């Protein structure tokens, strides 16, 4: 079992930055691929970014490429999402996820989820 706890969300003006963190406990976090998803009100949960357990591979959804950066520190059992040039359409609850099979883009590719952290971008 892996427990995930997100932090770093908040209210920011358009063009601003936030850094989300996801702290893991339980089984060795370096065994797992990690990802960030988000869910806006009335919408399905969508993929944002993913990073392999070896840190050698990263993926981003097109709408955040060049603005968001996913990273991880396996020694600290933590994955990060640096979000720059934020837009109102980035407003959502952001979820951290971990899984052992593939560095996937779908919710079914991940077995463990955090409780989410709210990000609100004002125009």
pLDDT value, residue 100:
83
Q: Is the pLDDT of residue 27 over 80?
A: no
Alpha-carbon distance of 49 to 67, in angstroms, equals 11
| Range of lowest pLDDT (8-12, 51-55, 91-95) | 51-55
Per-residue confidence at 8, pLDDT binned at 50, 70, 90?
Answer: very high
- CA 90 – CA 15 distance, rounded (Å): 11
Lowest model confidence (mean pLDDT) among 19-23, 64-68, 73-77: 73-77
Report the distance separating Cα 29 and Cα 40, nearest Å.
27
Percent residues over pLDDT 70 in the chain: 99
């Amino acid at each position: 079992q892996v427990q995930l706890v997100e932090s770093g969300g908040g209210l920011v003006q358009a063009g601003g930055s936030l850094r989300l963190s996801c702290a893991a406990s339980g089984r060795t976090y370096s065994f797992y691929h990690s990802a960030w998803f988000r869910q806006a009100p009335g919408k399905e949960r969508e993929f944002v970014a993913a990073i392999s357990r070896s840190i050698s591979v990263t993926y981003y959804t097109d709408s955040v490429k060049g603005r968001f950066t996913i990273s991880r520190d396996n020694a600290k059992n933590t994955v990060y999402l640096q979000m720059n040039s934020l837009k109102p359409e980035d407003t959502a609850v952001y979820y951290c996820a971990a899984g052992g099979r593939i560095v996937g883009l779908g919710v079914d590719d991940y077995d463990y989820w955090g409780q989410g952290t709210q990000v609100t971008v004002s125009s």
